[in-house]
């Protein structure tokens, strides 16, 4: 099968690798234009572009797929299938109708739950016990196409968006190859999504990760896991921005939310509306991620019992 693959972030890499190690032929790769990244804002190719370069694949990086020249370019490639994995650009109807077998997508949720840009983060924030991967036929409605295959996994209490995305990417790549075999054999089954159970995960902004201490410890702990690896949950103390990478929930103690109630080598305990949050790993401005014990060794004056974090 001649395949056009579109994708941009690390999540898409296992799927492209699986295709490159299969009997199928990737005839072109579409990925978003190189963007400034990191603290130095250095223009950097996407993970998918880097992999495509390694395999000397034809690479295209249009700003939009609506351009008639781009649509003609895709038509001239004569693909059997177009695969989208977190590409990040809208696919117009003209392109959906080009390939022999249409266009399919790998989405990291159990659709119709958590359509949208940040399904894994939304599942953690909501306290979902399970998530999964859906392979769907793409249509003009956002993440609403017929389901071709799904697999669910549990969300463990220690899971972050980073760990879940890594695992779901692996599962998605495996399911993709199964679907391709079913398509070729004429055995694929399409199941319409039940829109009555649709939920939507909006695109994450940096300010979403600012901690409000007047919510529960459970809610804040979910934020910390959901916003890892980006944008990282943060708060301020004495004018310093503190990023929190890992925490645990302790029993309730009566104190003003945001107040430091205890400090020792095990962590920095902070009061919330309901429960205590013990900060285990954190990051000071311009520094690397450290355990609370390591931070207290060098910055003990910053963390004082009964002082308060800002919401």
DSSP-assigned letter for residue 285? T
- Say if residue 24's pLDDT is above 90: yes
User: Could you tell me the two tokens for 63?
Assistant: 């700003």
Which pLDDT value is given to residue 22?
98
- Say if residue 301's pLDDT is above 90: no
**SS3 state of residue 16:** helix
> Distances from the Cα of 98 to the Cαs of 59, 80, 91, in angstroms?
19, 9, 11
Note whether 31 and 10 are within 8 A (CB). no
140 exposure class (CB count in 10 Å sphere: 0-12, 13-18, 19+): exposed
The mean pLDDT value of the chain amounts to 96
Partners of 150 in the β-ladder = 134
DSSP-assigned letter for residue 209? G
User: Could you tell me the two tokens for 264?
Assistant: 């020792």
Superfamily of domain 2-201: Formyl transferase, N-terminal domain (3.40.50.170)
Q: Give the separation between CA 83 and CA 141, rounded to whole angstroms.
A: 16
- Say if residue 102's pLDDT is above 90: yes
Q: Give the separation between CA 212 and CA 236, rounded to whole angstroms.
A: 11
Average pLDDT over residues 36-48: 88
- Comparing CA positions, the residue from 105, 154, 151, 106 lying closest to residue 128 is 154
Question: Are domains 2-201 and 206-302 of this chain identical in fold?
Answer: no
Average pLDDT over residues 130-135: 98
For 57-97, what is each residue's pLDDT tens digit?
A: 999 999 999 999 999 999 999 999 999 999 999 999 999 99
CB neighbour list of residue 99: distance below 8 Å, 6 or more residues apart: 4, 79, 80, 81, 82
Average pLDDT over residues 253-279: 94
- Say if residue 39's pLDDT is above 90: no
Which pLDDT value is given to residue 38?
75
Which pLDDT value is given to residue 213?
97
- Say if residue 139's pLDDT is above 90: yes
- Say if residue 210's pLDDT is above 90: yes
Domain parsing of the chain, residue ranges: 2-201, 206-302
- Say if residue 232's pLDDT is above 80: yes
Partners of 267 in the β-ladder = 264
CB neighbour list of residue 174: distance below 8 Å, 6 or more residues apart: 18
CATH number of 206-302: 3.10.25.10
Q: Give the separation between CA 113 and CA 293, rounded to whole angstroms.
A: 40
Q: Please identify which residue in the block is written with the tokens 């958590």.
A: 114
- Comparing CA positions, the residue from 177, 275, 262, 169 lying closest to residue 217 is 275
Report field, pTM of the whole predicted structure over 0.85: yes
Which pLDDT value is given to residue 253?
77
For 140-164, what is each residue's pLDDT tens digit?
A: 999 999 999 999 999 999 999 999 9
Q: Give the separation between CA 48 and CA 87, rounded to whole angstroms.
A: 10
- Comparing CA positions, the residue from 2, 69, 57, 66 lying closest to residue 30 is 57
pLDDT band for position 177 (cuts 50, 70, 90): very high
Which pLDDT value is given to residue 203?
95
């Amino acid at each position: 099968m001649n395949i056009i693959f579109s994708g941009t972030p690390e999540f898409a890499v296992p799927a492209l690798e699986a295709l490159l190690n299969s009997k199928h032929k990737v005839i072109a790769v579409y990925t978003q234009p190189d963007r400034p990244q990191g603290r130095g804002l250095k223009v950097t190719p996407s993970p998918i572009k880097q992999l495509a370069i390694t395999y000397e694949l034809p690479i295209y990086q249009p700003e939009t797929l609506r351009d008639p020249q781009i649509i003609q370019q895709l038509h001239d490639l004569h693909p059997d299938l177009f695969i989208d994995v977190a590409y990040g650009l809208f696919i117009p109807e003209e392109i959906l109708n080009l390939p022999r077998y249409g266009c399919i997508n790998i989405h990291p949720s159990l659709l119709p739950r958590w359509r949208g840009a940040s399904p894994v983060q939304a599942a953690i924030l909501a306290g979902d016990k399970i998530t999964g991967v859906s392979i769907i036929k793409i249509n003009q409605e956002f993440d609403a196409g017929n389901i071709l295959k799904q697999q669910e996994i549990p969300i463990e209490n220690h899971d972050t968006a980073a760990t879940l995305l890594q695992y779901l990417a692996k599962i998605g790549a495996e399911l993709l190859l199964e679907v391709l075999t079913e398509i070729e054999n004429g055995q694929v089954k399409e199941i319409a999504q039940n829109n009555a159970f649709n939920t939507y995960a909006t695109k994450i902004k940096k300010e979403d990760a600012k901690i409000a201490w007047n919510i529960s410890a459970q809610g804040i702990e979910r934020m910390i896991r959901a916003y890892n690896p980006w944008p990282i949950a943060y708060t301020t103390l004495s004018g310093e921005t503190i990023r929190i990478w890992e925490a645990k929930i302790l029993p309730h103690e009566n104190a003003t939310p945001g107040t430091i109630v205890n400090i020792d080598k095990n962590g920095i305990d902070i009061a919330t509306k309901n429960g205590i949050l013990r900060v285990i790993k954190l990051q000071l401005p311009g520094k690397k991620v450290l355990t609370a014990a390591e931070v207290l060794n060098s910055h003990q004056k910053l963390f004082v019992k009964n002082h308060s974090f800002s919401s």
